[in-house]
Structure formats: C-alpha cells, structure tokens
Amino acid sequence: MNKISLYIATSFFIIFTTNISAGDIAKGKEKSITCIACHGQDGISVSPIWPKLAGQHKSYLTSQLHEFKKGPEGKRNNAIMYGISVALSDEDIDDLSAYYESLDKSIGTTADDSFELGQNIYRGGNMEYKIQACIACHGPNGDGNGPASMPVLSGQHAEYIYSQLKNFQSSMRSNDPNKMMRNIVHRMTDEEMKSVAQYIQGLH
C-alpha cells in the first residue's frame, strides 16, 4: 500500500471512529462576520492571496483551523489566522466550517498558456521526476474527499494555490501527513506549480 492509500485509509478510520459535531450553519453564518474582510461575502474572497472558503469540506476546514490555533509551535503557522483561531472554541470551529461547506463555490478561469502543462501535471503528474498526479487525491474535478479531509481545489485562486505549493516546498507549511505534499512539490519547477495552480482555478 503506497503512502497516499495508507493516508486515505487511516483518515477514514479516524473519521468514522470519532464523534464529530455536525456544526450549526446558522450560528456559523453569524460568527463569520469576522472572516468577511479576507474571505469575502459568502466565502468568496476578492483578493487572490486569500483562499475561497465557500464549498470547502467541513472536515478540512476544521482540521486547518485547529492547525492554525497551535500558532508558532504548529505545522501551519500564520500570524493572522493564529490571532483569529486562538479565540475560537471547538464549537465555533464546527459552526464556521459547517457554514462555509454549505455555500456554493465559485469557479474562475485558466490562462490559455498554462492549460496544457497544468492539465498534464494535475491529471498525469510527471513520472520521470516521480511527481504524483493531483487527481489521485483531489479527484478529476478537484472536489477532494470530505471523509479523508482532502480539500476541494476546484475554482480556488491560482495565486493562493501557488503560494501554498511554495510553502510546502520550503516546509514553511508541514501539516501534510507523511510529507505527501512536500514529497511531491520539492521536485516541481516554478513553471509547473504556476501552471497547475492556473489549471485548478478553472477546474470544475
């Protein structure tokens, strides 16, 4: 069993053997007022440096907020998100995550000069350099996998996706189990990362 299959199997086991709150969507909407400045009305961020949250899996949003909450000692350190998440209770996190999952996501477009390379990397990887295809975990349409906490990528801002790939590459972000993302992106060129990020922006 390869690392990706092992991670998915383990994630399913954890998800289905843990009592996870469904979260309250209405309460989450009320609590989201502090998130609008960066993540936009209805979870659609205007600035491409901030992620769109609309339609993202609750399981993934919950896990990331808990990662941010760990602050400088954690594996996903961001000063702004730490300052926000540290004030959130587990119930707040569940409610916010449920709210954003309930929203309709938006889809952008892919730059023509990035489409072919981006599609090739996303769907086929690069076996010469052992770059795993994104489709293996994030699905053919970028919808991810909720039970396994694999995030939705479809329609996400290209600039944000690229920044996260760079963070994984430098290990500034290291909350990927078994170094799944870091093992992939450390072999990728800037052109490949920018192209696959552009492809994801228009993927649906």
Rounded CA separation 27/188 (Å): 41
What is the reported pLDDT for 2?
Answer: 56
Domains of the chain: 3-102 (1.10.760.10), 112-201 (1.10.760.10)
Residue 200: the pLDDT is 98
Tokens of 58: 């609750």
What's the chain's Rg over C-alpha atoms? 16
Written as tens digits, the pLDDT of the chain (204 aa) is 455 554 444 444 444 433 457 899 999 999 999 999 999 999 999 999 999 999 999 999 999 999 999 998 899 999 999 999 999 999 999 999 999 999 999 999 999 999 999 999 999 999 888 899 999 999 999 999 999 999 999 999 999 999 999 999 999 999 999 999 999 999 999 999 999 999 999 999
Determine the pLDDT at residue 20.
55
- What's residue 90's pLDDT? 97
What integer pLDDT is reported at residue 143 of this predicted model? 98
Return the closest-CA partner of residue 92 out of 26, 20, 151, 27. Answer: 27
> Does residue 138 sit in helix, strand or coil?
helix
Structure tokens at 141: 């349409």
Q: Give me the sign of the Cα torsion angle 108, 154, 98, 66.
A: negative
Nearest-angstrom CA–CA distance, 75 and 113: 34
Has this prediction a pTM greater than 0.85?
yes
